[in-house]
Amino acid sequence: MKKRCYITTPIYYPSGNAHLGHTYCTTMCDIFARYKRNMGVETYFLTGTDEHGLKIQKNAEKAGITPQEYVDKIANDFQNLWKTLKITNDDFIRTTQERHIKVVQEVFSEFLKNDDIYLGSYEGWYCVPCESFWTETQVGENHVCPDCGRPVNKASEETYFFRCNKYLDVVLDDFKKDKFVYPISRKNEMMNNFIKPGLNDLCVSRTSFTWGINIKENPKHVIYVWLDALLNYISALGYKSSDDSLFQKFWNNDDVEIIHVVGADISRFHTIYWPMFLKALNLRQPDRIFVHGLLMTKDGKMSKSKGNVISPMPLIERYGLDAVRYYMVREIIFGQDGQFTADQFIERINADLVNNYGNLVNRVLSMINKYFKGIIPNYKKRVNEKDIKLDSLIDETIKEYITLMDDLKLTEAVSKVMDLLSSANKYIEESTPWALAKDESKKEELEIVMNNLARSIFVSTMLLKPVLIDSNEKVFNFLGINNVKFSDVYDKEFLNNNKLNPTEILYQRLDLNTELEYIKEHIKSV
Ligand SMILES: [Zn+2]
């Protein structure tokens, strides 16, 4: 494991309000960042907004305000939402900030000077929403955008180009690396759809709109949004600024693992062009570009035009952050598409948080109170097969969880913890502590059972800490422990002789019909 970690969400395009889709991606990155910090890895977590381009300019015109006023409002809403959701981002970068604009202009000048960029003219099929030119073959007979499926128009303009073929090798090298692009299906898609057919030089400027960063050498051009946007990952760290200590620490360094989490619709820019720009700047490559799936509704991808945008707020207000975070990480396999449905949401909370986790905590702690006056019995060597089995399952779960989490298999990691909790619930039935308690000669056996169960709860709570951010402190408090650190999970005697604190119900059971009604009333598109 590397000493440091730099993880980024995409910078969101603020052409509408933040919805559950943005919340999903940001929450997954937050879970990962919290996990890394929990493991003692120095972590920097970045998110932000990508504020230039034609679409923003048009939306602002429609609203009768300046583009800057338009993006100020939405960027502010995004930042407030992340605060409400207790997202632990270290910084929020906006591409209209001076610190970013300066870097983009300097990089452009450097590319121009090094002949990585030249002035030419372009004729092709243009997709307005994607701000992308496409070739005849890419748009096909129907003349639709291969990225978004919308109709494209023939357009021509004087434009600057980035020399892609000069840096094709770096992309091919990156693609040979095991997990550079993940999932593998995305990697193959990039290879077959974009790299194998041959790369054209990339347009990196526009004259057809003005809302962007001007090229100093030729101010009637604005810098094409992708060259602008991608540089946020280093401008936010102070690249080319007088204080670049963050950049030295979290980028220009082999001791840092750099991870970009992106949506499928922007993976082409991150996996192909971003590595080229970095190479042209003589900077190192990121370690991983993880392409997450989409959280959709029954009408497909959430979009303002479809009117199926779900705001996370009604869910969070009623069910709390933990429930919403848990649902997102457990129900939608990270890296695949998923669909939000109200009944799956309710059932998932009831099955996993109420019945499995909450119930175990409640049962075990009340038995320790009853049989041992609230003192957790000391760890003793396990003799019976079922006791040994749970004891080693705890150890195995910790190991597997770490491997899965480090590999960004967040859903699988959380499932492992839930499996441990289910096994612990079954173990109660097999061990029948209520029967052991009646027999004085079985006291030591009862101690082993209770210690085993208390450890299952403690370890699971620690492993779920990045996800269940409100309840984990509660459970640690029930167990009478504070200032815990991750490595305490390896100390089998950690809970010895601990005095429990008064407990309360962790999660309330949700009534399916009542809650379906609530969700349908507040979220129209489910
Ligand atoms: Zn498009």
Q: What is the pLDDT of residues 92-140, one digit of tens each?
A: 999 999 999 999 999 999 999 999 999 998 888 988 887 777 888 889 9
When pLDDT is averaged across residues 310-329 and rounded to a whole number, the result is 93
Distance 130 CA to ligand 1 centre (A): 4
How remote is the C-alpha of 131 from its chain's centroid? 26
Strands (E), 13-106: 42-49, 91-94
Q: Which residues surround ligand 1, an ion (CB under 5 A)?
A: 127, 130, 145, 147-148
Average pLDDT, the chain: 94
CB 1 within 8 A of CB 406: yes
Q: What is the pLDDT of residue 9?
A: 97
Q: What is residue 146's three-state secondary structure?
A: coil
437-463 burial code (b ≥16 CB/10 A, e <16): beeeeeeebbbbbbbbbbbbbbbbbbb
When pLDDT is averaged across residues 391-420 and rounded to a whole number, the result is 98
Residue 517 pLDDT > 90, yes or no?
yes
Distance 149 CA to ligand 1 centre (A): 6
- Phi/psi-derived region of residue 444, left when phi > 0, alpha when psi is between -120 and 50, beta in every other case: alpha
Lowest mean pLDDT among 134-143, 324-333, 433-442, 466-475: 134-143
Distance 148 CA to ligand 1 centre (A): 4
Give the whole-angstrom CA distance, residue 314 versus residue 335.
Answer: 26
Count of all residues that appear for the chain in the document: 526
What single DSSP character describes residue 511?
Answer: P
Higher-pLDDT residue of 299 and 52 is 52
Residue-by-residue DSSP string for 73-95: HHHHHHHHHHHHTT---SEEEET
* Same fold flag, 4-292 and 341-490: no
CB 368 within 8 A of CB 500: yes
Lowest mean pLDDT among 32-36, 43-47, 267-271, 366-370: 267-271
Distance 144 CA to ligand 1 centre (A): 8
Distance 369 CA to ligand 1 centre (A): 62
Residue 254 pLDDT > 90, yes or no?
yes
Residue 167 pLDDT > 80, yes or no?
yes
Kindly tell me the sign of the dihedral angle through the C-alpha atoms of 190, 195, 198, 199. positive
Residue 159: in which H helix or E strand, if any? Answer: strand 153-162
Distance 83 CA to ligand 1 centre (A): 32
Distance 129 CA to ligand 1 centre (A): 6
Please write the tens of the pLDDT for every residue from 322-361. Answer: 999 999 999 999 989 988 899 999 999 999 999 999 999 9
How remote is the C-alpha of 12 from its chain's centroid? 13
Distance 377 CA to ligand 1 centre (A): 63
Residue 520: in which H helix or E strand, if any? Answer: helix 512-522
Q: Report how far apart, in Å, the C-alpha atoms of 494 and of each of 141, 457, 484, 497 are.
A: 67, 13, 10, 9
Residue 147 pLDDT > 90, yes or no?
no
Give the whole-angstrom CA distance, residue 449 versus residue 368.
Answer: 10
Residue 6 pLDDT > 90, yes or no?
yes
Q: What is the pLDDT of residue 178?
A: 85
What single DSSP character describes residue 498?
Answer: P
Distance 154 CA to ligand 1 centre (A): 13
In the chain, how many H helices and how many E strands?
Answer: 21, 14
Phi then psi for residue 212, to 5 deg, are -170, -175
Distance 151 CA to ligand 1 centre (A): 8
Distance 332 CA to ligand 1 centre (A): 26
Higher-pLDDT residue of 304 and 217 is 217
How remote is the C-alpha of 245 from its chain's centroid? 25
When pLDDT is averaged across residues 45-52 and rounded to a whole number, the result is 96
CB 127 within 8 A of CB 134: yes
Q: What is the pLDDT of residue 308?
A: 77
**CA nearest 279: which of 166, 161, 113?**
166
Q: Which residues contact 260 (CB under 8 A, 6 or more apart)?
A: 7, 8, 10, 233, 270, 274, 286, 288, 289, 290
Residue 526 pLDDT > 70, yes or no?
no
When pLDDT is averaged across residues 12-28 and rounded to a whole number, the result is 87
Per mean pLDDT, which of 192-196, 296-300, 369-373 is the most reliable? 369-373
When pLDDT is averaged across residues 218-224 and rounded to a whole number, the result is 94
> H-type helices in 384-511, by residue range?
385-406, 410-431, 433-436, 443-463, 471-478
Distance 126 CA to ligand 1 centre (A): 8
CATH 3.40.50.450 fits 4-292, yes or no: no
Q: Where are the domains of the chain?
A: 4-292, 341-490
Q: Report how far apart, in Å, the C-alpha atoms of 101 and of each of 65, 105, 266, 479, 520 are.
A: 22, 6, 21, 51, 44
341-490 folds as: Isoleucyl-tRNA Synthetase; Domain 1 (1.10.730)
Q: What is the largest CA-CA distance in the chain?
A: 90
Distance 152 CA to ligand 1 centre (A): 8
Global pTM reads 0.93
Give the whole-angstrom CA distance, residue 103 versus residue 101.
Answer: 6
Distance 54 CA to ligand 1 centre (A): 13
Q: What is the pLDDT of residue 525?
A: 66
